[in-house]
Chains A and B, each alone.
Chain A
Amino acid sequence: MQNAQEFTYGVIGAGSFGTAVANILAENGKVLLFTRRPEACREMLTQRTNRGQQLHPNITPTIDIPDFCNQCRLIFPVVPSAGFREVMQQFSGCLQPHHILIHGTKGLNLHLLPNEEMHPGQPVSRQQISTMTEIILQETVVLRVGCLSGPNLAKEIAQGQPAATVIASRFTEVIEQGREALKSPRFKVYGSNDVTGVEFAGVLKNVMAIASGILSGLGLGENAKAMLISRGLGEMVKIGRALGADSSAFFGIAGIGDLIATCSSSLSRNFSVGFRLAKGELLPDILANMNEVVEGINTVKLAKGVSLYYHIETPIVEALYQTLYNNQTIAESLEYLMNYSFDKDADFL
């Protein structure tokens, strides 16, 4: 029993990134891959594939929460942010103080009442936002929590290409155990104690990924993209700071690293939404035929709300918000950005 607990890792969520994480973990031990959908579980058991990825022989799909929690000590929740709290509530009865959770979800949770929706242009303060780490702490008894973030495009990881990631936790043992579990010749794991910074960097970069997709869709070149990445990073830092994060994480793997990857790759969901918008498709149509959640769409609204609340100048966020939520055309947004009075470079330092 003790040995089983020692070497069985758990992954909650069988999306493309969850599956990729499970495959890396499987190189170092047994893995239970939890999915809420029994049919998906059956399919994985019979087909041994998921989301186009071959499942490692060490992976066992499961829908049994008590057994999952009983067997796994180190657990990686990788579920969309919108459903994260609900999933944690489902697991909370079985999670115990000895569990360690390292989540891989890049999103934020806005505190709303049931059936309440965020109004367009509503200011948002830090008190109204929970990071995924905070949700784990609020909903479960687990204290040893961390997050996994970085330029980790699931498809590239699945193809066995080299990649780097950051495990951020206030607990050194969480970083060490996470690093040990994920050790792989093609996956380099860095550590950080700045959980908030790493989480906000990972979330905010999705906004810039949509913008980058738009530029690409418009057929604009590398100069425009470089402008977006550098100015976008500045806006990310400003918003992150207002929310209480340290800036250093924004300049590491989970910040600039992830930003470059998502702003450059058509594999990124957020990027492809922007790309298709620029090609003239409408947002509801794009989202309707995406089979996974696009975190950046919600993040644009939140980033706009935070900028309003803390009086931060974030023209890229503003332009994107107007495009996605106020029917401003892409041409108008681009014009707005080019006419905006940026005059000082690197004003966020």
Chain B
Amino acid sequence: MALIHQQNKQGLYNLVIPDIEQWPIYLLSKDRAPFIEELVSNSMAHIRELLGDSKQKLHDEIARALYMERIRMKTEHWRVDPPDERSFWRKVNETIAHISTQKGIPIGQPTDEDARIFHEIVARYANEIPGIFSPNTYRFASRVVTFGFARLLNTASGMFFKNEFRLGDRLKITGNIEKIRELALKGTLIMTPTHSSNLDSLVMGWAIDAIGLPPFLYGAGLNLFNSRIFGFFMERLGAYKVDRRKKNLFYLETLKMYSRMVIERGCHSLFFPGGTRSRNGALENQLKLGLLGSAVEAQRLNFMRGTTETMGFDASHAKKIYVVPVVLNYHFVLEAASLIEEFLKRSGKEKYYIDREEFPGTRLLTTFLWKFFAAKSEVILSFGEPMDIFGHPVDEHGNSIDQHGNCIDISRYFVSRGMITKDRQRDEEYTRLLGNKLVESFMRTNTVLSSHLVAFTAFEILARKHSRRLDLYGLLRLPEEDRTIPYTQYAKVTEHVRDALRQMADHGKVQLANHMYGDINRLIKHGLSNLGVYHTQQPLAFDPDGNITSQDMNLLYFYHNRLTGYNLEQLI
């Protein structure tokens, strides 16, 4: 399939596959019923294997799931929950109890009915998780986002009647987009962005559309479906439902099986490997490996299928999976105040206490967007180098490249005694290695913005100054009069750190936004004005004497954390 390189009038890329009916996500949705049937049987087989085919263990798991689901329904009922779920679980309960007593089997012993109940539970979850992709809704949403955002942007900037700004001016995309587009045709993409804000999924949705890729499957929290309108769109755009309240084995394994099977079917997927939004503002360095594990498993299965088809050991034509790390860089994060508050409470325990008023309540998304656009702030989406599931870079043909520039056949990582074999422990280990590679890639792909730099140096100068007397929590409670940094000192240190970052950028260890070059005074002003754009209490500001001060140490710490992990502290 030929790749269409041109960009359209809005500066966006044309779709790599113009015909929606050819999109894997559309084909999957069209094939929904048989897919769900397969999902049920695969999940059941997998769960049986996990339970060692033990009838007793299966019975115990059913009882456990019943217990957990009843607690959930009692304590945490959501509007989105299906109306028949209470009656469903009541029947499960009755069946277990009834059969056990009727046949004289003591409660707690496996029964012949367990297999049927097992099937019903898994089938219920398998029907609940997948969304239904609708091309019409997709077209509509795509237009709304592009047009609506652009209109909002211009309106907020005071130029309602001019089309001076486009969305792409504020949401900047960096990275090897052409390669990512090529790979989208050759294999299955797994997009793994860092997670700072609830806005991230919206931004990623726009970005995927902007670079001309078909929509990605994305696991959205079931709570988002509580809103009928939002739920309507999410479901029809291909989002699948993830219910974090359900922790029972059947649900979790069905969900994992679903994510694996859609990858196997070539549907591009997106998930945030950090799991939740970064609470302390730092780049993720500990990842949730569950969904990454699905990618590794799907890759192995693709290779196994490939070798079976060729009746030999050649898996070279099997569909490959490519992981695309993405770092989302914001000058400010909508939820920064509550995120860092949560982080400090958790990490500081008794050391962290609030000696001032609570934060203002959560603002509405529209207020944020308005401020974001009015303030002419920018968001940079940095796409990292695509990698295979072992973390090797790949070329534009999808070949994996080793550290010496040679092509390697990664299917052979699954070879044991001459055959591609299933080995769960090996898959887990490969997943862990992939997680490490992703973390390394996040560090390299991160685009440093002026706001990150100014926050980092200011916090580190204060930390160094008070290090003998105060620990982190003491520092965060530093009285306002002790927070002042003389401007000359500040500018000197900031320039020193900036120069070190430039050197690192020259070696590909990090990326720098364009505004990071040039005059340091201008850079500092740029950083300060962007860092404070949203918050009522300025994390960093000029005092009347032109020196630097902070009105909110927690926020300063939050934004500072973005540059930890680069050993820049030693330069202060």
Rounded to whole Å, the gap between the CB of A253 and the closest CB of chain B is 22
Q: Would you give the 0/1 interface string for A80-100, flagging 1 where the beta carbon is closer than 8 Å to chain B?
A: 000000000000110011100
Answer yes or no: B245 CB below 8 A from chain A CBs: no
A179 to B390, CA, bound (A): 26
Contact present for B408 and A141 (CB under 8 Å): yes
CB-CB nearest in chain A for B415? A98
List, in ascending order, chain A residues with CB within 8 A of B403's CB.
92, 138-139, 141
List, in ascending order, chain A residues with CB within 8 A of B392's CB.
141
A97 to B392, CA, bound (A): 12
List, in ascending order, chain A residues with CB within 8 A of B425's CB.
171-173
Answer yes or no: B548 CB below 8 A from chain A CBs: no
A6 to B390, CA, bound (A): 25
Answer yes or no: B25 CB below 8 A from chain A CBs: no
Q: Would you give the 0/1 interface string for A1-23, flagging 1 where the beta carbon is closer than 8 Å to chain B?
A: 01001100000000000000000
Answer yes or no: B81 CB below 8 A from chain A CBs: no
Residue in A2, A97, A143 whose beta carbon sits within 8 Å of that of B418 in the complex: A2
Contact present for B418 and A6 (CB under 8 Å): yes
Answer yes or no: A126 CB below 8 A from chain B CBs: no
Contact present for B412 and A97 (CB under 8 Å): yes
Contact present for A173 and B418 (CB under 8 Å): no
Contact present for A171 and B426 (CB under 8 Å): yes
Answer yes or no: B523 CB below 8 A from chain A CBs: no
Answer yes or no: A170 CB below 8 A from chain B CBs: yes
Chain A residues numbered 193-247 whose CB sits less than 8 Å from any CB in chain B: none
List, in ascending order, chain B residues with CB within 8 A of A141's CB.
392, 402-403, 408
Rounded to whole Å, the gap between the CB of B351 and the closest CB of chain A is 23
Answer yes or no: B417 CB below 8 A from chain A CBs: yes
- Beyond A97-B408, A141-B402, A141-B408, whether A6 also contacts B417 by CB under 8 A is yes
Contact present for A96 and B426 (CB under 8 Å): no
Rounded to whole Å, the gap between the CB of B469 and the closest CB of chain A is 21
List, in ascending order, chain B residues with CB within 8 A of A73's CB.
417
Number of residues from A at the complex interface, CB < 8 A: 19
A93 to B406, CA, bound (A): 8
List, in ascending order, chain A residues with CB within 8 A of B416's CB.
173, 177
List, in ascending order, chain B residues with CB within 8 A of A144's CB.
413, 426
Answer yes or no: B317 CB below 8 A from chain A CBs: no
Number of residues from B at the complex interface, CB < 8 A: 22
A105 to B116, CA, bound (A): 56
CB-CB nearest in chain B for A139? B403
Answer yes or no: B423 CB below 8 A from chain A CBs: yes
Contact present for A92 and B423 (CB under 8 Å): no
CB-CB nearest in chain B for A5? B418
Chain B residues numbered 258-304 whose CB sits less than 8 Å from any CB in chain A: none
Residue in A6, A93, A143 whose beta carbon sits within 8 Å of that of B404 in the complex: A93
List, in ascending order, chain A residues with CB within 8 A of B429's CB.
170-171
Rounded to whole Å, the gap between the CB of A130 and the closest CB of chain B is 14
Select the residue from B390, B409, B426 with max chain A CB neighbours within 10 A. B426
List, in ascending order, chain A residues with CB within 8 A of B418's CB.
2, 5-6
Chain B residues numbered 199-222 whose CB sits less than 8 Å from any CB in chain A: none
Chain A residues numbered 132-157 whose CB sits less than 8 Å from any CB in chain B: 138-139, 141, 143-144
CB-CB nearest in chain A for B418? A2
Contact present for B423 and A143 (CB under 8 Å): no
Rounded to whole Å, the gap between the CB of A139 and the closest CB of chain B is 7
Contact present for B406 and A143 (CB under 8 Å): no
Q: Would you give the 0/1 interface string for B313-325, flagging 1 where the beta carbon is closer than 8 Å to chain A?
A: 0000000000000
A139 to B402, CA, bound (A): 10
List, in ascending order, chain B residues with CB within 8 A of A96's CB.
408-409, 412
Select the residue from A138, A139, A170 with max chain B CB neighbours within 10 A. A170
Answer yes or no: B430 CB below 8 A from chain A CBs: yes
- Beyond A172-B425, A173-B425, whether A143 also contacts B430 by CB under 8 A is yes
A139 to B392, CA, bound (A): 13
Answer yes or no: B144 CB below 8 A from chain A CBs: no
A5 to B313, CA, bound (A): 14
Contact present for A92 and B433 (CB under 8 Å): no
Rounded to whole Å, the gap between the CB of B433 and the closest CB of chain A is 7
A294 to B67, CA, bound (A): 62
5 additional A-B pairs beyond A97-B413, A172-B423, beta carbons within 8 Å, are A6-B417, A93-B406, A143-B430, A171-B425, A173-B426
For the complex of A and B, list the 6 residue pairs with the smallest distance between their C-beta atoms, beginning with the closest. Answer: A98-B412, A97-B412, A98-B415, A97-B413, A172-B425, A141-B402
Q: List 25 A-B contacts (CB under 8 A).
A: A2-B418, A5-B418, A6-B418, A96-B409, A97-B408, A97-B410, A97-B412, A97-B413, A98-B412, A98-B413, A139-B403, A141-B403, A141-B408, A143-B390, A143-B413, A143-B430, A144-B413, A144-B426, A170-B432, A172-B423, A172-B426, A173-B416, A173-B423, A173-B425, A177-B416
